[in-house]
A and B are shown apart, each in its own frame.
Chain A
């Protein structure tokens, strides 16, 4: 045979044995995964909840998934091995047969070859003898042969011919047998080659399937951090043991876990981001904690949990910006975004442009995964600016719908503050609550959620500036809010620990007096308000909701007013500063006429935060403390509000007594 080695090596018994082993392992892993699934139910909510529970279940889910995947891959390998065993059996059988046939053919070939050799000699001898006989016979047919010469008879000649013919027949038969043996040998060789090829093909398929089954080993199931699991869970249970308020528990979490542990806890509890957002730990505690960390620890935390650190009031704005930029870049690569999230990302590029050359832009908050997406963009070096003005957006001005307009408003304010003499302004466009739409504006749900968060942001500015500013110590912090943002900000300003320098209400949708009984309840040194005469929407919002209108001049006769602010004009000075002719903060480009009736949309350049309006000038002057730059007069609204409310009471009394019937 031409095969020097076994063309189909291997032992069927060994292959079948391994196949059984793979099947057994697959089943064992499946049962293990099933047990883990069962345990997830046994220790699931409501039987166990909290940070430790989330972290434990997250790890258990990962391990269950790893076991499920491992079971499936072992099953596939078992199937591949079974197929290989069958192919090996068939090809080895075919190869063995071919080998046996070849050996038989080789034997027959040798026999035939020997026969041919022998018969060739015999046949050749007989032919020679016959030739000699025929020659003698012919020669002495007509002459007398010499004495002693035997001349064959005709019968002898015929007999010699028959002998030669018989030998020739035998030789031909032997040659035929030789050819037959050769053919059988060739066929056996071909069969052996075919068996070898089929074997190799099946073996390639087997090897490929095994290689393919080397997949889905879940990294987490094999991490070296496994040893830390107990430690992490121990810390978490200890936190749960000692903290009763969510914000306190979250602060303890930050203090006690390592960056790697925080990352792991976050992976197990994505909802943790929402918890930090809604219940941020006290900003002064956060600032103190962050201040005590090394630069390396801060960097590690920013990388491990950018969604937490970036949105944590009390962290310096440069670090929040670094963290939020990481989240922003990750979001841009996320293929599973909602239409709202995509809308926000599409506008981010423009929002992140500076209000003027060289002015830093800082991503103060970035929480794309809240519903709706929430964020804040700051203009100026917020850790070292002369003053910080937070701009709270109003109805329909959340990030998904108005990122561009509200950040443009903030940028306009930055330039306007700069114009009234602030060398290094800091202005933040804040869209960190669920801004209601026109339907929801009259209800207080959104405001309650946003106010606590906004209050934390304001305290965060005070805390981070006190600890991290170039010149640590108090710096002015002010708030300007538009429309429903004034409703939300007013509530927030009852919750701050910091006394804010100024609160400027612009086109207010009214103050909820159940939560803010008077403007004295605000933790603010100075309160300002403005409402353009042509803004019909703001007083309508206050009126329909029953909230108190801080601008008595525009309050409806039956609606309550709230006094105590200093009012300034937004109706233009008739000279350089334009009037506001609608409700929204900026006029739409190219819009020649304001919207009809309630005037929601102002004409181009005639929004409250449009450049060169009396409104923006006065917002800039009041939010920066440059009261000498206020255009027009500041009027205390207390007396007007008191008179308005008195008249309103008269109306109500008259109505009750039936004078209007």
Chain B
């Protein structure tokens, strides 16, 4: 944790844009039974494919969630700045 908090909202939005530019996980071709060799090769392919298709999905979903979180944080901070601005313009009593 940092003791002092600072934020540049534009940077957050820029980060969100950069994070979302990679898009979805590209779709793969269809591999049929026996295409890659004997049953041994088929089994190894199945293992790899199921292991990493879940992993790739998690990475993509996390990136999406992080993008959303970044935009949401930027909105929250922007609202705060707006609230602060309203507070300052509310009257001289604030000073």
Binding site for B on A (CB under 8 A): 9-11, 14-15, 17-18, 21, 24-25, 28-29, 31-32, 35-36, 38-39, 42-43, 45-54, 56, 59-60, 63, 66-67, 70, 73-74, 77, 84, 88, 199-200, 203-204, 206-208, 210-211, 213-214, 217, 221-222, 226-227, 229-230, 233-234, 237-238, 240-241, 246, 265, 269, 271-272, 275, 279
Contact = CB atoms under 8 A, between A and B. Distances in A.
Interface string B11-46: 110110011011001101101101111101101110
Interface in B62-95: 62-63, 65-66, 68-70, 72-73, 76-77, 80
A32 B41 contact: no
Contacts of A50: 1-2, 4-7
- Determine chain B's interface SS by DSSP, over half rule: helix
Which 6 residue pairs across A and B have the least CB separation, nearest first? A50-B5, A222-B58, A14-B35, A207-B44, A10-B37, A49-B2
A17 B29 contact: yes
A36 B80 CA distance: 27
Most A C-beta atoms less than 10 A away, residue of B2, B18, B35: B2
Interface of B: 1-8, 11-12, 14-15, 18-19, 21-22, 25-26, 28-29, 31-32, 34-38, 40-41, 43-45, 47-48, 51-52, 54-56, 58-59, 61-63, 65-66, 68-70, 72-73, 76-77, 80
B52 A70 contact: yes
Nearest to B32: A14
A66 B35 contact: no
A70 B12 contact: no
B73 A32 contact: no
A48 B45 CA distance: 43
Contacts of B35: 10-11, 14-15
Nearest to B43: A207
B29 A275 contact: no
A48 B8 contact: yes
A214 B38 contact: no
Given A54-B1, A66-B55, A200-B38, 7 more contacts: A9-B34, A10-B38, A35-B19, A47-B8, A51-B1, A203-B41, A271-B2
Contacts of A56: 66, 69-70, 73
A233 B74 CA distance: 11
A207 to B, nearest CB: 4
A364 to B, nearest CB: 24
B76 A246 contact: no
A230 B5 contact: no
B59 A31 contact: no
Given A49-B5, A50-B2, A217-B54, A43 B37 contact: no
B65 A226 contact: yes
